[in-house]
Amino acid sequence: MRKAQIFILVVVVLMAGAFFVPALAAEAMSACQIVNAASAEVFDNLQVAVDAANPGDLLTVTGTCVGTTMIDKDLVLEGDSAPESEQATLDGNGAGSVLSVAIDVNVTVTGLTITGGYSEFGGGIYNEGAMELNEVTVSDNASYYEGWLGGGGGIYNLDTMTLKNSAVTNNTAVSQGGGIYNKNGGKMNLNNSVVGGNLSTHINFGNGGGIYNDNYYAGTWIRLQNSIVVGNRAESLGGGISTYGFLMLSRSKVTNNTAGRSGGGVFTGAGTNTTIRTTMIRFNSASLNGGGIYAPLDG
């Protein structure tokens, strides 16, 4: 618990300037190395390591691994947490989603930075399975899709995802969900986590600078507990959060977000189900309606 509290404090202190960024070494990237804990095999490419692994294996990552990876079996990915090691990093190098998880696959990711992704859907992570992210940073990824059906600069979730002590920062989407797009039927939990400094850029489709939560009728929901949504911007609706599904905020903060049209902090579409408990929503702004929250009757 103490570790989670320290994590949140660091982000708040940095609100006036840059947002939370992982502790990347200033020197040249260290070489990629992946060790399979079960077989003791060593790899220098994550996709090759995944293909060679058996379901349930633990893969330990050291250094910076460049490229995109599709995971089609249950696995655990863990960054090397030795004191002398820099933050282990997966860098998509602009070649697609950094991590893609297939349907009915369970993946746990711990202690990694996910960056450099560039894709239509989910620049950092495209998830159709069940994912848990622990002490993970999803940062500086982008979605280039233009339209109503896609986006998710950092994360595009279609199934189940939990973030613990994690950060989704400085990602960009042309359309919905600069940081996170939770799509039809998606279920997300954010605990002691930060969504900060993300951007949705399109004047019409740019909704949910931090989070876009889609489709109430499909049972889509997202729950934030002890989490912060800070410094995000949407050129259209919902600078911090834009929701058309179930949204639950508990003991959280939505602050310093901006919308080009309405709902600087939170935009809730008509007929959606939004529950807010013990949550601070302040210092948000919108050019038209609802600097803090906008809930139109017919939108």
Spell out the domains of the chain, with CATH numbers in brackets: 2-17+55-294 (2.160.20)
| pLDDT of the residue at 62 | 95
* 124 within 8 A of 88, measured Cβ to Cβ: no
| pLDDT of the residue at 8 | 39
| pLDDT of the residue at 159 | 96
In three-state secondary structure terms, 255 is strand
| pLDDT of the residue at 114 | 98
| pLDDT of the residue at 191 | 98
| pLDDT of the residue at 280 | 96
Residues 6 or more apart whose Cβ sits within 8 Å of residue 125? 97, 98, 99, 100, 101, 114, 117, 131, 138, 154, 155, 156, 157
| pLDDT of the residue at 84 | 67
The tokens describing 185, both together, are 């039927």
| pLDDT of the residue at 21 | 40
* 132 within 8 A of 108, measured Cβ to Cβ: yes
- Whether the full predicted model's pTM is greater than 0.95, yes or no, is no
Instruction: Extract the residue ranges of the chain whose pLDDT is less than 50.
Output: 1-27
What's the residue count for the chain?
299
